[in-house]
Structure 1
Amino acid sequence: MGLILTLIMGGLIGWIAGMIMGTDIPGGKIGNIIAGLIGASLGGFLLGSWGPSIWGVHILPALIGTILLIAIVSIILNMMHRRR
């Protein structure tokens, strides 16, 4: 049950971060989950564990990490698109 809740939380974090950034995450719902999980790990690594926690995921570091991840991926995709 913990894995399912973690995937749901990753999807929610990815979706919220995409709304804040105003850009779609490539891959749709699966992309949201992947971005949320990687972003949560990145945020936890960079910022530690502080703020409110739901299902073991600290919301603020996860959200900040996911926003950072989306920004980096968007920059890379824009650079690759310009080369064509």
Structure 2
Amino acid sequence: MGILWLIIVTLIGGTVIGLLGRAVAPGDRDKIPFWLTVGCGIVGMIVGSYLYWALFGDNNGRFDGHAASATNATNGIDWVRHLWQVGVAAVTVMIAATVTGRSSS
């Protein structure tokens, strides 16, 4: 059942992060397909989490009985990590719109 939850969380999180990334990306990026938005969100989730961890999360101490990790770097909700995820998703949305040629000028 663990892999099923991983897939569900990745798809739901990728959808949310991708839509937020598409909303904050500059320009008219609404013409990329939904599946590509979800893909950009999944990339944003993974790359954003590890970028945040590499830059800021490595110096966090132990909490809740475990050491900080890239997927759980603080006690509670990692709001700053989620902002990094949305930022990376916005960049991937801009790249995807450019590569697919679907942005309107």
Q: State whether residues 18 and 25 of structure 1, in contact with CA within 8 Å, keep that contact through their aligned partners in structure 2.
A: no
SS state at 2:30 partner: coil
Indicate the structure with greater helix content.
1
Q: Residues 21 and 90 of structure 2 are in contact (CA less than 8 Å); yes or no, is this contact kept in structure 1?
A: yes
1:81 corresponds to: none
1:10 to 14, 22, 38: 14
Say yes or no: does 1:76 pair with 2:99. yes
Whether 1:27 aligns to 2:52 is no
- Larger Rg belongs to: 2
Please give the secondary structure, in 1, of the residue aligned with 2:99.
helix
More RCO (CA 8 Å, sep 6+): 2
1:12 CA displacement: 0.6
- Alignment pair present for 1:66 and 2:66: no
* More strand, by proportion: 1
Total equivalences in the alignment: 74
The answer as to whether partners of 2:43 and 2:89 remain within 8 angstroms in 1 is yes
- Post-superposition offset of 1:10: 0.7
Counterpart contact for 1:44–1:62, Cα < 8 Å = yes
> Structure 2: which 5+ residue stretches go unaligned?
54-69
Identity %: 19
Which amino acid in 2 is paired with 1:12? V
The alignment yields a C-alpha RMSD, in angstroms, of 2.6
Compute the TM-score of the two structures, normalised by the length of structure 1. 0.65
